[in-house]
Amino acid sequence: MKFITQPWPWYVAGPLIGLVVPALLLLGNKTFGISSTLRHICAACIPANIPFFKYDWKKESWNLFFALGIIAGGFIATNYLSTPAPVNLNPKTIASLQHLGIKDFGGLLPKDIFSLGQLFTLKGLIFIVLGGFLVGFGTRYAGGCTSGHAIMGISSLQWPSLVATCCFMVGGFVMTWLILPYLLQL
């Protein structure tokens, strides 16, 4: 049981994630990505006459089950497979984050930013609400999410996915090194 509750090294987890791509292609001629799931849910639940949602979403219903599996897996991992020990971070990372004002490292996400109590503060509004909106907008604008482009798109040699993944990485670096320190000072 200890093997499954500890973090797996990149050389084990990476290939396992990478094997999802050929498995989906070989077993069902399906592509991997999670952002389209929201479109399928809206197409199934919203009976409006919106052209974007007028398609046969039932052909992609496997994607809805895949998303439910992710949610169920997250629940099982959090409630039954997690350890009470804090996440093992590099001491330099901890020192850098403490210098920026983040003190609570009790879980996977720092509670100084990501907690229900922080949602009603200016910092929480920016990180959770505005950040969520920007991620959703960027996903739609890029024609897919990071998992779809980086895992599926690059492995199937799609040029737009390589460009999108490079832009995701540049955006992450800009956010981490240039914007985040200012936002944490709020």
Q: Supply the pTM of this predicted model.
A: 0.74
Output b/e per residue, 57-88; b: 16+ Cβ within 10 A: beebeebeebbeeeeeeeeeeeeeeeeeeeee
Q: What is the mean pLDDT of the chain?
A: 85
Q: What is the pLDDT of residue 75?
A: 92
Number of domains in the chain: 2
Q: Is residue 95 domain-resident?
A: no
- 65-124 pLDDT, tens digit per residue, is 988 998 999 899 888 887 777 777 888 988 888 888 888 776 677 888 888 888 888 888
Q: Is residue 108 domain-resident?
A: no
Q: What is the pLDDT of residue 106?
A: 67
Q: What is the pLDDT of residue 69?
A: 92
Coil, strand or helix at 29: coil
Same domain, 6 and 57: yes
Same domain, 78 and 10: yes
Q: Is residue 18 domain-resident?
A: yes
Q: Is residue 89 domain-resident?
A: no
Residue 6, pLDDT above cutoff 80: no
Q: Is residue 63 domain-resident?
A: yes
Placement of tokens 């739609």 in the chain: 140
Same domain, 77 and 127: no
Output the furthest CA–CA distance in the chain (Å, rounded): 54
Same domain, 118 and 71: no
Two tokens, residue 153: 């798109």
Same domain, 78 and 25: yes
- 151-175 pLDDT, tens digit per residue, is 888 888 899 999 999 999 999 999 9
Residue 141, pLDDT above cutoff 90: no
Which is nearest to 32 in space by CA: 74, 1, 3, 70? 70
Same domain, 1 and 49: yes
Same domain, 76 and 1: yes
Q: Which domain holds residue 71?
A: 1-82
- The domain boundary, picked from 64, 82, 100, lies at 82
Q: Is residue 56 domain-resident?
A: yes
Q: What is the pLDDT of residue 80?
A: 86
Q: What is the pLDDT of residue 166?
A: 94
Q: Is residue 97 domain-resident?
A: no
Q: What is the pLDDT of residue 169?
A: 93
Q: Is residue 102 domain-resident?
A: no
